[in-house]
Chain A
Amino acid sequence: MRKLSLFNISKLYEMISDNKQLYLPVDNGAGQAGYKKWEYGMTMSQALNTVRSAKDFFFPQTENLVDFKMNGKNIEIIDTRSEAEDFVLFGVRACDARSFSILDKVFLSDPVDSFYKSRREHGTVITLSCTRPEETCFCTAFGIDPSNPEGDISSWIEDGDIYFEAITDKGAVLMDSFQSILDEADESAVETQKTETRKIMAKLPLADFNLDGFGDAALLEKFNSPKWAELSRTCLGCGTCTFVCPTCQCYDICDFDTGHEVKRFRCWDSCMYSDFTKMAHGNPRVTQMEKFRQRFMHKLVYFPANNNGEYGCVGCGRCLAKCPISMNIAKVAKKLGDN
Protein backbone atom coordinates (compact mmCIF):
# COMPACT_ATOMS: atom_id res chain seq x y z
CA MET A 1 0.00 0.00 0.00
CA ARG A 2 1.20 3.47 -0.99
CA LYS A 3 -0.03 6.92 -0.12
CA LEU A 4 -0.10 10.49 -1.34
CA SER A 5 -0.93 13.68 0.47
CA LEU A 6 -4.18 15.23 -0.82
CA PHE A 7 -2.29 18.48 -1.29
CA ASN A 8 -0.51 16.86 -4.20
CA ILE A 9 -3.54 15.20 -5.74
CA SER A 10 -3.61 17.50 -8.77
CA LYS A 11 -0.04 16.41 -9.48
CA LEU A 12 -1.41 12.89 -9.66
CA TYR A 13 -4.25 13.95 -11.99
CA GLU A 14 -1.70 15.66 -14.17
CA MET A 15 0.53 12.62 -14.35
CA ILE A 16 -2.35 10.33 -15.27
CA SER A 17 -3.81 12.66 -17.88
CA ASP A 18 -0.42 13.06 -19.50
CA ASN A 19 -0.96 9.91 -21.52
CA LYS A 20 -4.52 8.86 -20.77
CA GLN A 21 -7.89 10.55 -20.52
CA LEU A 22 -8.79 11.02 -16.88
CA TYR A 23 -12.41 11.22 -15.77
CA LEU A 24 -13.52 12.00 -12.25
CA PRO A 25 -16.71 13.07 -10.49
CA VAL A 26 -16.98 16.85 -10.30
CA ASP A 27 -19.79 19.11 -9.15
CA ASN A 28 -21.98 20.40 -11.93
CA GLY A 29 -23.90 23.64 -11.90
CA ALA A 30 -27.02 21.98 -10.53
CA GLY A 31 -25.46 20.97 -7.22
CA GLN A 32 -24.92 17.38 -8.25
CA ALA A 33 -21.94 15.37 -9.34
CA GLY A 34 -21.15 13.98 -12.75
CA TYR A 35 -18.08 12.49 -14.41
CA LYS A 36 -16.04 15.00 -16.37
CA LYS A 37 -12.77 14.87 -18.17
CA TRP A 38 -10.14 16.34 -15.91
CA GLU A 39 -8.71 19.68 -16.79
CA TYR A 40 -6.24 21.68 -14.79
CA GLY A 41 -7.84 23.15 -11.67
CA MET A 42 -10.70 20.65 -11.37
CA THR A 43 -11.30 19.06 -8.01
CA MET A 44 -13.16 15.92 -7.17
CA SER A 45 -16.74 16.26 -5.94
CA GLN A 46 -17.52 15.71 -2.29
CA ALA A 47 -20.82 14.07 -3.22
CA LEU A 48 -21.16 10.41 -2.37
CA ASN A 49 -21.99 9.46 -5.93
CA THR A 50 -22.77 10.79 -9.36
CA VAL A 51 -26.31 11.09 -10.74
CA ARG A 52 -25.49 9.11 -13.84
CA SER A 53 -23.59 5.97 -13.11
CA ALA A 54 -20.15 5.16 -14.43
CA LYS A 55 -21.59 2.64 -16.91
CA ASP A 56 -21.62 5.48 -19.46
CA PHE A 57 -17.94 4.95 -20.06
CA PHE A 58 -18.28 1.37 -21.17
CA PHE A 59 -21.83 1.47 -22.47
CA PRO A 60 -22.51 5.04 -23.58
CA GLN A 61 -26.03 6.37 -23.90
CA THR A 62 -25.72 6.50 -27.66
CA GLU A 63 -23.05 5.09 -29.89
CA ASN A 64 -22.71 4.58 -33.58
CA LEU A 65 -22.69 0.97 -34.74
CA VAL A 66 -22.33 1.16 -38.47
CA ASP A 67 -22.95 3.50 -41.40
CA PHE A 68 -24.72 2.75 -44.64
CA LYS A 69 -24.50 4.56 -47.90
CA MET A 70 -27.50 4.03 -50.11
CA ASN A 71 -27.19 4.29 -53.83
CA GLY A 72 -30.09 3.08 -55.93
CA LYS A 73 -30.48 -0.61 -55.26
CA ASN A 74 -27.05 -0.81 -53.70
CA ILE A 75 -26.02 -0.49 -50.09
CA GLU A 76 -22.52 0.12 -48.88
CA ILE A 77 -21.82 -1.01 -45.32
CA ILE A 78 -19.16 1.04 -43.57
CA ASP A 79 -17.63 -0.26 -40.36
CA THR A 80 -16.99 2.87 -38.34
CA ARG A 81 -15.44 1.17 -35.33
CA SER A 82 -12.22 2.60 -34.09
CA GLU A 83 -10.00 1.49 -31.26
CA ALA A 84 -11.04 3.18 -27.99
CA GLU A 85 -8.58 5.51 -26.33
CA ASP A 86 -7.00 4.62 -23.02
CA PHE A 87 -8.82 6.22 -20.15
CA VAL A 88 -8.87 6.19 -16.37
CA LEU A 89 -11.96 6.45 -14.21
CA PHE A 90 -11.13 7.95 -10.87
CA GLY A 91 -13.25 7.91 -7.73
CA VAL A 92 -15.64 5.11 -8.67
CA ARG A 93 -17.54 3.80 -5.66
CA ALA A 94 -17.81 0.14 -4.72
CA CYS A 95 -21.36 -0.21 -6.04
CA ASP A 96 -20.49 1.10 -9.50
CA ALA A 97 -17.35 -1.02 -9.55
CA ARG A 98 -19.48 -4.10 -9.05
CA SER A 99 -21.87 -2.98 -11.75
CA PHE A 100 -19.09 -3.42 -14.30
CA SER A 101 -18.82 -7.09 -13.53
CA ILE A 102 -22.59 -7.39 -13.95
CA LEU A 103 -22.44 -5.64 -17.32
CA ASP A 104 -19.54 -7.93 -18.26
CA LYS A 105 -21.82 -10.91 -17.81
CA VAL A 106 -24.13 -9.51 -20.45
CA PHE A 107 -21.80 -7.92 -22.95
CA LEU A 108 -18.83 -10.24 -22.73
CA SER A 109 -20.86 -13.43 -22.92
CA ASP A 110 -20.94 -15.08 -26.31
CA PRO A 111 -21.20 -13.37 -28.78
CA VAL A 112 -18.94 -10.69 -27.36
CA ASP A 113 -20.01 -7.11 -27.85
CA SER A 114 -16.91 -5.63 -29.46
CA PHE A 115 -17.87 -2.04 -28.69
CA TYR A 116 -18.12 -2.76 -24.99
CA LYS A 117 -15.09 -5.00 -24.95
CA SER A 118 -12.87 -2.41 -26.56
CA ARG A 119 -13.83 0.19 -23.98
CA ARG A 120 -13.48 -2.24 -21.15
CA GLU A 121 -9.97 -3.14 -22.25
CA HIS A 122 -8.91 0.47 -22.52
CA GLY A 123 -10.41 1.66 -19.26
CA THR A 124 -8.69 1.47 -15.89
CA VAL A 125 -10.86 1.92 -12.83
CA ILE A 126 -9.59 3.53 -9.64
CA THR A 127 -12.18 3.03 -6.96
CA LEU A 128 -12.63 5.05 -3.80
CA SER A 129 -13.93 3.73 -0.51
CA CYS A 130 -17.05 5.20 1.08
CA THR A 131 -16.84 6.66 4.55
CA ARG A 132 -20.13 8.47 4.87
CA PRO A 133 -22.82 6.37 3.19
CA GLU A 134 -26.32 7.67 2.51
CA GLU A 135 -29.56 6.35 3.94
CA THR A 136 -30.38 5.08 0.46
CA CYS A 137 -27.35 2.78 0.33
CA PHE A 138 -27.87 -0.97 0.55
CA CYS A 139 -24.91 -2.38 -1.32
CA THR A 140 -24.02 -4.70 1.55
CA ALA A 141 -27.12 -6.71 0.69
CA PHE A 142 -25.31 -7.79 -2.48
CA GLY A 143 -22.09 -8.70 -0.74
CA ILE A 144 -20.38 -5.44 -1.64
CA ASP A 145 -18.03 -3.94 0.91
CA PRO A 146 -18.04 -0.16 0.35
CA SER A 147 -15.06 0.23 2.65
CA ASN A 148 -12.99 -2.08 0.48
CA PRO A 149 -14.04 -1.49 -3.12
CA GLU A 150 -13.18 -3.70 -6.10
CA GLY A 151 -11.49 -2.22 -9.16
CA ASP A 152 -8.13 -2.07 -10.87
CA ILE A 153 -6.77 0.13 -8.11
CA SER A 154 -8.56 0.72 -4.79
CA SER A 155 -8.11 3.92 -2.88
CA TRP A 156 -8.98 5.29 0.53
CA ILE A 157 -9.00 8.89 1.69
CA GLU A 158 -8.10 9.20 5.34
CA ASP A 159 -6.88 12.17 7.30
CA GLY A 160 -5.47 14.24 4.48
CA ASP A 161 -3.87 11.33 2.67
CA ILE A 162 -5.05 9.12 -0.14
CA TYR A 163 -3.96 5.47 -0.03
CA PHE A 164 -3.65 3.28 -3.10
CA GLU A 165 -3.46 -0.41 -3.63
CA ALA A 166 -3.27 -2.04 -7.03
CA ILE A 167 -5.66 -4.99 -7.39
CA THR A 168 -5.26 -6.08 -11.00
CA ASP A 169 -2.31 -6.19 -13.39
CA LYS A 170 -3.81 -3.32 -15.33
CA GLY A 171 -3.97 -1.37 -12.10
CA ALA A 172 -0.38 -2.20 -11.23
CA VAL A 173 0.79 -0.90 -14.60
CA LEU A 174 -1.07 2.35 -14.09
CA MET A 175 0.22 2.69 -10.54
CA ASP A 176 3.76 2.26 -11.77
CA SER A 177 3.27 5.33 -13.93
CA PHE A 178 2.74 7.54 -10.88
CA GLN A 179 4.77 5.51 -8.41
CA SER A 180 7.32 8.30 -8.20
CA ILE A 181 5.10 10.64 -6.20
CA LEU A 182 3.77 7.99 -3.81
CA ASP A 183 5.16 7.19 -0.38
CA GLU A 184 5.26 3.89 1.42
CA ALA A 185 2.39 3.53 3.87
CA ASP A 186 1.25 1.01 6.40
CA GLU A 187 -2.29 -0.24 6.43
CA SER A 188 -3.37 0.74 9.93
CA ALA A 189 -5.17 3.96 8.95
CA VAL A 190 -7.07 2.20 6.19
CA GLU A 191 -7.96 -0.70 8.42
CA THR A 192 -9.39 1.65 11.05
CA GLN A 193 -11.43 3.38 8.37
CA LYS A 194 -12.79 0.06 7.15
CA THR A 195 -13.95 -0.90 10.61
CA GLU A 196 -15.60 2.48 11.13
CA THR A 197 -17.42 2.34 7.79
CA ARG A 198 -18.66 -1.17 8.42
CA LYS A 199 -20.10 -0.01 11.74
CA ILE A 200 -21.96 2.80 9.98
CA MET A 201 -23.24 0.42 7.30
CA ALA A 202 -24.83 -1.69 9.99
CA LYS A 203 -26.73 1.32 11.29
CA LEU A 204 -28.27 2.33 7.95
CA PRO A 205 -32.05 2.19 7.60
CA LEU A 206 -31.77 -0.37 4.79
CA ALA A 207 -29.17 -2.49 6.59
CA ASP A 208 -31.75 -5.24 7.01
CA PHE A 209 -32.61 -5.25 3.30
CA ASN A 210 -32.60 -8.81 2.12
CA LEU A 211 -33.73 -10.80 -0.86
CA ASP A 212 -34.81 -13.98 0.85
CA GLY A 213 -37.35 -15.73 -1.30
CA PHE A 214 -36.12 -14.25 -4.58
CA GLY A 215 -34.21 -16.11 -7.25
CA ASP A 216 -34.92 -18.70 -9.87
CA ALA A 217 -37.16 -20.99 -7.86
CA ALA A 218 -39.60 -18.19 -7.13
CA LEU A 219 -40.03 -17.18 -10.76
CA LEU A 220 -43.65 -18.02 -11.32
CA GLU A 221 -44.71 -17.22 -7.78
CA LYS A 222 -43.22 -13.73 -7.92
CA PHE A 223 -44.36 -13.17 -11.48
CA ASN A 224 -47.94 -13.98 -10.66
CA SER A 225 -48.01 -12.06 -7.40
CA PRO A 226 -51.09 -9.85 -7.12
CA LYS A 227 -48.97 -7.16 -5.47
CA TRP A 228 -47.56 -5.91 -8.78
CA ALA A 229 -50.80 -4.13 -9.64
CA GLU A 230 -50.70 -2.10 -6.48
CA LEU A 231 -46.96 -1.38 -6.67
CA SER A 232 -47.09 -0.19 -10.25
CA ARG A 233 -50.36 1.67 -10.01
CA THR A 234 -48.88 5.15 -9.95
CA CYS A 235 -45.75 4.41 -11.98
CA LEU A 236 -45.39 7.17 -14.53
CA GLY A 237 -43.62 5.01 -17.09
CA CYS A 238 -40.63 7.33 -17.33
CA GLY A 239 -37.11 5.99 -17.70
CA THR A 240 -35.45 7.68 -14.75
CA CYS A 241 -34.79 4.51 -12.78
CA THR A 242 -33.37 2.69 -15.79
CA PHE A 243 -31.18 5.56 -16.96
CA VAL A 244 -29.59 6.31 -13.59
CA CYS A 245 -29.21 2.59 -12.85
CA PRO A 246 -25.64 1.29 -13.15
CA THR A 247 -26.76 -2.17 -14.19
CA CYS A 248 -29.64 -1.49 -16.61
CA GLN A 249 -28.27 -2.44 -19.99
CA CYS A 250 -31.22 -2.74 -22.36
CA TYR A 251 -30.70 -0.91 -25.59
CA ASP A 252 -32.44 -0.01 -28.78
CA ILE A 253 -31.00 0.08 -32.27
CA CYS A 254 -32.21 2.92 -34.45
CA ASP A 255 -31.40 4.34 -37.84
CA PHE A 256 -30.86 7.99 -38.54
CA ASP A 257 -30.84 9.34 -42.05
CA THR A 258 -28.47 12.27 -42.21
CA GLY A 259 -29.31 13.05 -45.80
CA HIS A 260 -26.07 11.66 -47.18
CA GLU A 261 -25.85 8.40 -45.27
CA VAL A 262 -27.75 6.30 -42.78
CA LYS A 263 -26.26 5.96 -39.34
CA ARG A 264 -27.26 2.96 -37.31
CA PHE A 265 -26.77 3.71 -33.65
CA ARG A 266 -27.71 2.08 -30.41
CA CYS A 267 -29.05 3.98 -27.48
CA TRP A 268 -30.18 3.15 -23.99
CA ASP A 269 -33.74 1.97 -23.88
CA SER A 270 -36.04 1.51 -20.96
CA CYS A 271 -38.38 -1.40 -20.31
CA MET A 272 -40.65 1.23 -18.73
CA TYR A 273 -41.33 2.84 -22.11
CA SER A 274 -44.55 2.15 -23.95
CA ASP A 275 -42.89 1.09 -27.20
CA PHE A 276 -40.25 -1.18 -25.69
CA THR A 277 -41.90 -4.39 -26.82
CA LYS A 278 -44.35 -2.99 -29.34
CA MET A 279 -44.44 -4.97 -32.57
CA ALA A 280 -46.47 -4.73 -35.74
CA HIS A 281 -48.86 -7.37 -34.42
CA GLY A 282 -49.24 -6.16 -30.85
CA ASN A 283 -47.53 -5.79 -27.53
CA PRO A 284 -47.02 -8.56 -24.99
CA ARG A 285 -46.65 -6.00 -22.19
CA VAL A 286 -49.66 -3.81 -22.56
CA THR A 287 -50.09 -2.00 -19.28
CA GLN A 288 -47.57 -0.29 -17.06
CA MET A 289 -47.84 -3.16 -14.61
CA GLU A 290 -46.17 -5.58 -17.00
CA LYS A 291 -43.45 -3.09 -17.86
CA PHE A 292 -42.84 -2.32 -14.20
CA ARG A 293 -42.79 -6.00 -13.32
CA GLN A 294 -40.29 -6.72 -16.07
CA ARG A 295 -37.75 -4.30 -14.62
CA PHE A 296 -37.79 -5.72 -11.13
CA MET A 297 -38.21 -9.33 -12.16
CA HIS A 298 -35.22 -8.92 -14.44
CA LYS A 299 -33.02 -7.66 -11.63
CA LEU A 300 -34.21 -9.91 -8.87
CA VAL A 301 -35.28 -13.12 -10.58
CA TYR A 302 -34.35 -13.47 -14.25
CA PHE A 303 -30.81 -12.18 -13.93
CA PRO A 304 -29.88 -14.46 -11.00
CA ALA A 305 -31.55 -17.35 -12.84
CA ASN A 306 -29.12 -16.90 -15.72
CA ASN A 307 -26.06 -15.90 -13.69
CA ASN A 308 -25.62 -18.33 -10.83
CA GLY A 309 -27.76 -16.41 -8.41
CA GLU A 310 -26.09 -13.04 -8.76
CA TYR A 311 -28.65 -10.23 -8.60
CA GLY A 312 -28.79 -7.49 -11.22
CA CYS A 313 -28.68 -4.76 -8.61
CA VAL A 314 -25.80 -3.24 -6.67
CA GLY A 315 -27.70 -1.23 -4.08
CA CYS A 316 -26.35 2.16 -5.13
CA GLY A 317 -29.61 3.84 -4.17
CA ARG A 318 -29.91 6.03 -7.25
CA CYS A 319 -33.42 4.89 -8.08
CA LEU A 320 -34.42 5.48 -4.47
CA ALA A 321 -33.27 9.06 -4.71
CA LYS A 322 -34.45 9.84 -8.23
CA CYS A 323 -37.77 8.14 -8.91
CA PRO A 324 -40.40 10.87 -9.36
CA ILE A 325 -42.88 8.86 -7.32
CA SER A 326 -40.36 7.21 -5.01
CA MET A 327 -41.31 3.71 -6.03
CA ASN A 328 -38.14 1.71 -6.06
CA ILE A 329 -36.44 -1.63 -5.76
CA ALA A 330 -36.27 -1.43 -1.97
CA LYS A 331 -40.02 -1.05 -1.68
CA VAL A 332 -40.66 -3.72 -4.27
CA ALA A 333 -38.34 -6.22 -2.63
CA LYS A 334 -39.86 -5.55 0.76
CA LYS A 335 -43.42 -5.90 -0.44
CA LEU A 336 -42.77 -9.03 -2.50
CA GLY A 337 -40.23 -10.61 -0.24
CA ASP A 338 -40.86 -13.05 2.52
CA ASN A 339 -40.30 -10.50 5.23
Chain B
Amino acid sequence: MNMQRREALKAGGGLGLFGLLAAAGLITPSQARAEWNKSAFDAKTIEETLKALGATGAQNSTDIQITAPDIAENGAVVPVGVVSALAGVEAIALLIEKNPNPLAASFMLPAGTEASVQTRVKMGQTSDVIAVVKVGGKFIMTKKEIKVTLGGCGG
Protein backbone atom coordinates (compact mmCIF):
# COMPACT_ATOMS: atom_id res chain seq x y z
CA MET B 1 0.00 0.00 0.00
CA ASN B 2 2.69 2.39 1.08
CA MET B 3 4.91 1.40 -1.82
CA GLN B 4 2.07 1.81 -4.24
CA ARG B 5 1.31 5.18 -2.81
CA ARG B 6 4.90 6.22 -3.17
CA GLU B 7 4.95 4.97 -6.73
CA ALA B 8 1.76 6.88 -7.38
CA LEU B 9 3.36 9.98 -5.94
CA LYS B 10 6.40 9.57 -8.15
CA ALA B 11 4.21 8.95 -11.16
CA GLY B 12 2.11 11.92 -10.21
CA GLY B 13 5.24 14.03 -10.38
CA GLY B 14 4.45 15.80 -7.12
CA LEU B 15 0.76 16.37 -7.47
CA GLY B 16 0.81 17.39 -3.84
CA LEU B 17 -2.03 16.91 -1.40
CA PHE B 18 -4.54 18.89 -3.33
CA GLY B 19 -3.73 17.18 -6.57
CA LEU B 20 -4.18 13.82 -4.85
CA LEU B 21 -7.37 14.93 -3.16
CA ALA B 22 -8.70 16.22 -6.46
CA ALA B 23 -7.74 12.95 -8.11
CA ALA B 24 -9.58 11.11 -5.36
CA GLY B 25 -12.61 13.30 -5.92
CA LEU B 26 -12.41 14.71 -2.41
CA ILE B 27 -12.15 18.28 -3.56
CA THR B 28 -12.86 20.00 -6.85
CA PRO B 29 -9.83 20.71 -9.05
CA SER B 30 -10.39 24.46 -8.69
CA GLN B 31 -9.48 24.11 -5.04
CA ALA B 32 -6.18 22.46 -5.78
CA ARG B 33 -3.37 24.87 -5.06
CA ALA B 34 0.33 25.23 -5.51
CA GLU B 35 2.43 22.29 -4.36
CA TRP B 36 4.66 22.42 -1.28
CA ASN B 37 6.99 25.41 -1.58
CA LYS B 38 10.31 23.55 -1.36
CA SER B 39 12.55 26.53 -2.06
CA ALA B 40 10.91 28.56 0.70
CA PHE B 41 11.12 25.74 3.26
CA ASP B 42 14.72 24.94 2.30
CA ALA B 43 15.87 28.57 2.52
CA LYS B 44 18.47 29.21 5.22
CA THR B 45 18.09 32.93 5.85
CA ILE B 46 15.19 35.33 6.31
CA GLU B 47 16.10 37.12 3.05
CA GLU B 48 16.14 33.89 1.03
CA THR B 49 12.85 32.82 2.57
CA LEU B 50 11.15 36.12 1.82
CA LYS B 51 12.42 35.91 -1.74
CA ALA B 52 11.08 32.38 -2.18
CA LEU B 53 7.73 33.52 -0.83
CA GLY B 54 7.70 36.47 -3.23
CA ALA B 55 7.69 38.74 -0.20
CA THR B 56 11.01 40.56 -0.62
CA GLY B 57 10.77 44.07 0.74
CA ALA B 58 7.86 43.34 3.09
CA GLN B 59 7.29 46.43 5.23
CA ASN B 60 7.10 46.34 9.02
CA SER B 61 3.56 46.87 10.17
CA THR B 62 1.73 47.32 13.46
CA ASP B 63 -1.40 45.82 11.91
CA ILE B 64 -0.21 42.29 12.70
CA GLN B 65 0.13 40.80 16.17
CA ILE B 66 2.07 37.73 17.16
CA THR B 67 0.36 36.03 20.10
CA ALA B 68 2.96 34.05 22.01
CA PRO B 69 4.51 34.02 25.45
CA ASP B 70 7.75 36.02 25.84
CA ILE B 71 9.36 32.94 27.37
CA ALA B 72 8.96 29.30 26.39
CA GLU B 73 9.36 26.59 29.00
CA ASN B 74 10.67 24.27 26.29
CA GLY B 75 11.85 24.86 22.74
CA ALA B 76 10.29 21.66 21.37
CA VAL B 77 6.79 23.12 21.60
CA VAL B 78 6.33 26.88 21.39
CA PRO B 79 2.77 28.13 20.86
CA VAL B 80 2.63 30.95 18.31
CA GLY B 81 -0.38 32.70 16.82
CA VAL B 82 -0.71 35.41 14.19
CA VAL B 83 -3.67 37.78 14.22
CA SER B 84 -4.56 40.81 12.13
CA ALA B 85 -7.62 43.04 12.09
CA LEU B 86 -6.97 43.91 8.43
CA ALA B 87 -9.62 42.82 5.94
CA GLY B 88 -8.73 40.63 3.01
CA VAL B 89 -5.66 38.84 4.36
CA GLU B 90 -4.76 36.18 1.78
CA ALA B 91 -1.80 34.44 3.33
CA ILE B 92 0.27 34.21 6.52
CA ALA B 93 3.78 32.81 6.89
CA LEU B 94 5.56 32.07 10.16
CA LEU B 95 9.37 32.31 10.29
CA ILE B 96 11.83 31.60 13.09
CA GLU B 97 14.98 33.56 12.46
CA LYS B 98 17.53 31.32 14.18
CA ASN B 99 16.20 27.95 13.06
CA PRO B 100 18.31 26.19 10.38
CA ASN B 101 15.42 26.70 7.95
CA PRO B 102 13.47 29.78 9.09
CA LEU B 103 10.11 29.00 7.45
CA ALA B 104 7.96 26.96 9.85
CA ALA B 105 4.53 27.11 8.22
CA SER B 106 2.47 29.05 5.73
CA PHE B 107 -1.29 29.44 5.50
CA MET B 108 -3.52 30.35 2.56
CA LEU B 109 -6.73 31.95 3.70
CA PRO B 110 -9.66 31.79 1.25
CA ALA B 111 -12.17 34.68 1.42
CA GLY B 112 -14.22 34.35 4.61
CA THR B 113 -11.40 32.86 6.69
CA GLU B 114 -10.27 35.17 9.50
CA ALA B 115 -6.72 36.41 9.78
CA SER B 116 -6.16 34.38 12.95
CA VAL B 117 -4.13 31.20 13.04
CA GLN B 118 -2.34 29.46 15.86
CA THR B 119 0.13 26.59 15.82
CA ARG B 120 3.13 25.25 17.75
CA VAL B 121 6.71 25.29 16.56
CA LYS B 122 10.16 24.03 17.49
CA MET B 123 12.79 26.61 18.36
CA GLY B 124 16.42 25.59 18.75
CA GLN B 125 17.23 28.69 20.77
CA THR B 126 16.00 32.15 21.75
CA SER B 127 15.03 33.90 18.53
CA ASP B 128 12.88 36.46 16.78
CA VAL B 129 9.69 34.98 15.37
CA ILE B 130 8.51 36.76 12.23
CA ALA B 131 4.99 36.85 10.81
CA VAL B 132 4.65 37.77 7.14
CA VAL B 133 1.16 38.65 5.92
CA LYS B 134 -0.09 39.02 2.36
CA VAL B 135 -2.94 41.48 2.11
CA GLY B 136 -4.28 43.16 -1.02
CA GLY B 137 -1.43 41.67 -3.02
CA LYS B 138 1.19 43.31 -0.79
CA PHE B 139 3.39 41.86 1.96
CA ILE B 140 3.79 43.25 5.47
CA MET B 141 5.53 41.79 8.50
CA THR B 142 6.16 42.02 12.23
CA LYS B 143 8.38 40.22 14.74
CA LYS B 144 8.60 39.23 18.38
CA GLU B 145 11.43 37.74 20.41
CA ILE B 146 10.69 34.50 22.22
CA LYS B 147 13.16 33.40 24.85
CA VAL B 148 13.74 29.64 25.01
CA THR B 149 14.76 28.45 28.48
CA LEU B 150 16.50 25.37 29.80
CA GLY B 151 14.37 23.52 32.25
CA GLY B 152 13.84 20.71 34.67
CA CYS B 153 16.63 18.70 36.18
CA GLY B 154 18.88 19.62 33.26
CA GLY B 155 19.60 16.20 31.81
* A and B associate in one complex: no
- B binding-site residues for A, Cβ under 8 Å: none
Q: Interface on A for B, CB 8 Å cutoff?
A: none
